[in-house]
Amino acid sequence: LYQAKLTEAVQAGHEILITGGRSRDAVIAAINVMEDSPLFNAGLGAVFNHAGDIELDASIMEGRLLNAGAVAGVGRIKNPINLANAVLEHSPHVMLIGAGAEEFAASQGLEFVSNDYFKTERRRHQLEKIQREEGGVALSEAAFDSKPDPYAFDEKKLGTVGAVAIDQWGDIAAGTSTGGMTNKRFGRVGDAPIIGAGTYADNQACGISATGHGEYFIRAAVAHDICARVAYKGISLQQAADEVVLDKLVKMQAEGGIIGIDPQANTVFSFNSLGMYRAAIDKTGKLTVLMFGTD
């Protein structure tokens, strides 16, 4: 199920690139596929906050001029990544939140839905279970660990979606979209819409989209730190990603991972959890779809 949807997502992005499109449009196309699928914690099928509502965050960045757009706390925009893109393209700002973001979305003619559109039974059960058992918050991110979970691994810890791409002009783009954490406080914002934390792109270094425990990823400035290590230390993207994800984040006891792409179009994955659902199509057109760390 997940493999098929991930394949569809990367193929949607790849199709844009091979027909001469821009990396930013490819990233949006890939993320739209996942936002529109109930499998992932983004768009339809996003997780519930403590009040039983859905609040969505997204960001997108391009590496040529470091342009970026982000939205947080939106509850009626069908595809939050499209709104983040509109902020990048059509506003003087980088980030809009809540009602102001939705007002801007209306002015841009973006598709609105009711908050109920995003809600699925599976996510409602997750919220009820967490409120009943733990009274805490739970990651519902694309990273998951090995703790026993009656809902199986794909229930509680899956979901934030992201994409990275490079086009024929060497422009790198990265984007991330999420519903955040199950049972999060109303108004909580994680790393996904924060430029430099959940998303970063710089043509000289890399494009990164992150997923994991958002509070830690903000504090560690994960996406920017990885790109900075590439730029300043002259190390490979894989090495830079592993330094941050497998060392810096592990020391903080922060679970999660990243997808990345470098100026040579090499794709990298790094995660410190049991698994991270991920897919890539390289410049030769070869498709890779992986689930766990052992793949």
* 246 vs 151 pLDDT, higher one: 246
- The answer, yes or no, to whether residue 283 has pLDDT greater than 90, is no
Residue 134 has pLDDT above 60, yes or no: yes
φ/ψ of 156, rounded to 5, equals -90, -30
Span 43-50, average pLDDT: 96
pLDDT at 144 over 50: no
Contact 32, 25 (CB under 8 A): no
The response to whether 57 counts as a known ligand-binding position is no
Find, among 249, 240, 255, the residue nearest to 293 by Cα. 255
Poorest-pLDDT segment among 30-34, 129-133, 222-226, 245-249:
129-133
Flag whether 224 is marked binding: no
188 is in an annotated binding site: yes
Is the pLDDT assigned to residue 151 strictly greater than 70?
A: no
* Rounded Cα gap, residues 72 and 4, in angstroms: 29
pLDDT-derived band at 136 (thresholds 50, 70, 90) equals low
Interval 161-217: pLDDT, tens: 999 999 999 999 999 999 999 999 999 999 999 999 999 999 999 999 999 999 999
Helix, strand or coil, per DSSP, at residue 242: helix
Q: Check pLDDT > 80 for residue 245.
A: yes
Question: 294 catalytic, yes or no?
Answer: no
| 211 within 8 A of 248, measured Cβ to Cβ | no
Q: Which of 120, 160, 199, 284 is labelled catalytic?
A: 160
CB atoms closer than 10 angstroms to residue 99: 12
Q: Is 191 assigned a ligand-binding role in the annotation?
A: yes
CB-CB neighbours of 167 under 10 Å? 19
pLDDT surpassing 90 at residue 291: no
Q: What is the mean pLDDT of residues 213-240?
A: 98
Task: Say what the pLDDT of residue 11 is.
Answer: 97
pLDDT for the residue 155 = 41
Q: Is 75 annotated as a binding residue?
A: no
Structure token pair of residue 203: 């043509």
pLDDT at 135: 55
Predicted pLDDT at 295: 66
Domains, the chain: 2-292 (3.60.20.30)
pLDDT, the chain, mean: 92
Give the confidence band of 293 by pLDDT, cuts at 50, 70, 90. confident
CA angle 181, 43, 167 (to 5 degrees): 105
Terminal CA-CA length for the chain: 17
Q: Is 213 annotated as a binding residue?
A: yes
Rounded CA-CA distance 103/110 in Å is 10
Report pLDDT digits (tens) over 69-79: 999 999 999 99
Q: 211 a known binding residue?
A: yes
DSSP 150-179: TT-HHHHS---EEEEEE-TT--EEEEEEE-
